[in-house]
């Protein structure tokens, strides 16, 4: 009998532990259908970034203003244009279409900047059919006058406001740059989140030495990037036993998924590997996971989950500072 790959995430029953996290692939209906056929058990749609919405609205307003002095006769020369879809409408349409065509849960992702916007967009996503909401806490704390307490209190206010506005499951994609990851994770759960995604990968800019311009860069993850979420999921799993945990960044293979499950993740999120290899790669990963479970005498994902968390390994200090000391000591001896 094949191992049972079923799992639960955010209270949702999933067919397997691999979900497709937000990426260009999850922004197109055809690709979403291909991902479902390949075996992903849920999809996270691309984040709605409020700045993008505002920029589109301002650009449209400027365009309309530039033609405000045209006469009615002159406007007759322009053909009819299709109705414009600005940020929210485009995301809502994709969400509605995905819910209509897919048989797996669809999670909407949101990154807002203004008070009230988080609740408003989250409510619109729920009305369009979202099975859950992911709050994408993608921001850099660059103001030296705002200490970590103030910054993190702002995040918690957002969580509380959205939790009061919607009833669907709510998860937060955490930054790896928190002052105290474990403390904030516990506070987020107390504020009402059902799950945590560890971690958000902040894309870092480069500098053009000719123009001195700041250049955006996109570097896909490697399996080495999985080590940070593995460490923290292992630490958090025994401390937050009722909270859904998702590993993201560096999940490329069946072995990576197995590691994420071993430390206590409920699901493993894939992005870079799917961009590199296409949706069909999911099937390869799931087949490999089944084989690994069978070889290691695990009957299910549930049986495997958390076996190597900080509460399950012989040396839990290995996830903390002690391991670093051992590595340094070994390096000096060599």
Q: At what angle do helices 87-101 and 117-127 cross, to 10 degrees?
A: 30
In angstroms, what CA-CA distances link 29 with 67, 132, 135?
35, 18, 22
pLDDT at 83: 52
Q: Determine, yes or no, domain membership for 294.
A: yes
- The answer as to whether 75 is a domain residue is no
**pTM score:** 0.85
Residue 48, strand partner residues: 110
Residue 76 placed within a domain: no
Specify if 327 maps to a domain: yes
Span 255-264, average pLDDT: 98
The answer to whether position 245 is within a domain reads: yes
Tally of structural domains, the chain = 1
Q: What is the CATH number of the domain that holds 249?
A: 3.20.20.70
**Separation between Cα atoms, residue 39 and residue 49, nearest integer Å:** 28
Residue 313 is given by DSSP the state: S
Residue 77 lies in a domain: no
Q: Among 33-42, 52-61, 306-315, which range has the highest average pLDDT?
A: 33-42
pLDDT value at position 57? 40
Position 78 in a domain: no
For the chain, give the mean pLDDT. 86
Residue 73 lies inside a defined structural domain of this protein? no
| Portion of the chain with pLDDT greater than 90, in percent | 65
Does the pLDDT of residue 54 top 50, yes or no?
A: no
Give the N- to C-terminal CA distance of the chain in Å, as an integer: 48
Q: What is the pLDDT of residue 94?
A: 96
Please give the helix or strand (H or E) that residue 170 lies within, else none: strand 170-174
- Which structural domain, as residue segments, surrounds residue 258? 7-67+83-333
């Amino acid at each position: 009998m094949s191992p049972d790959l079923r799992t639960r995430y955010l209270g949702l029953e999933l067919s397997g532990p691999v979900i497709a996290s937000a990426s260009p692939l999850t922004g197109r209906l055809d690709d979403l259908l291909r991902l479902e056929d390949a075996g992903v058990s849920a999809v996270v749609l691309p984040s709605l970034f409020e700045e993008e919405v505002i920029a589109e609205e301002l650009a449209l307003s400027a365009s309309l203003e530039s033609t405000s002095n045209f006469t009615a006769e002159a406007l007759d020369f322009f053909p009819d244009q299709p109705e414009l879809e600005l940020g929210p409408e485009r995301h809502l349409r994709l969400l509605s279409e995905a819910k209509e065509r897919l048989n797996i849960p669809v999670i909407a992702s949101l990154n807002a900047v203004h008070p009230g916007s988080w609740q408003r967009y989250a409510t619109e996503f729920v009305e369009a059919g979202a099975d859950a909401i992911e709050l994408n806490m993608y921001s850099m704390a660059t103001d030296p006058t705002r200490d970590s307490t103030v910054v993190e209190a702002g995040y918690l206010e957002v969580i509380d406001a959205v939790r009061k506005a919607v009833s669907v499951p709510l998860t937060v994609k955490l930054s790896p740059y928190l002052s105290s990851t474990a403390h904030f994770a516990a506070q987020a759960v107390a504020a009402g989140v059902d799950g945590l995604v560890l971690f958000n990968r902040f894309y870092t800019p480069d500098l053009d030495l000719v123009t001195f311009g700041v250049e955006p860069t996109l570097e896909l993850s490697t399996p080495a990037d999985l080590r940070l979420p593995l460490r923290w999921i292992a630490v958090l799993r025994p401390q937050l036993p009722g909270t859904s945990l998702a590993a993201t960044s560096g999940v490329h293979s069946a072995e990576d998924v197995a590691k994420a499950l071993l430390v206590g993740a409920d699901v493993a999120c894939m992005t870079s590997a799917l961009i590199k290899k296409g949706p069909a790669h999911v099937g390869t990963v799931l087949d490999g996971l089944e084989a690994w479970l069978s070889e290691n005498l695990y009957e299910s994902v549930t049986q495997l989950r958390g076996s190597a968390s900080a509460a399950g390994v012989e040396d839990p200090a290995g996830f903390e500072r002690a391991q670093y000391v051992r590595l340094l000591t070994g390096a000096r001896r060599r």
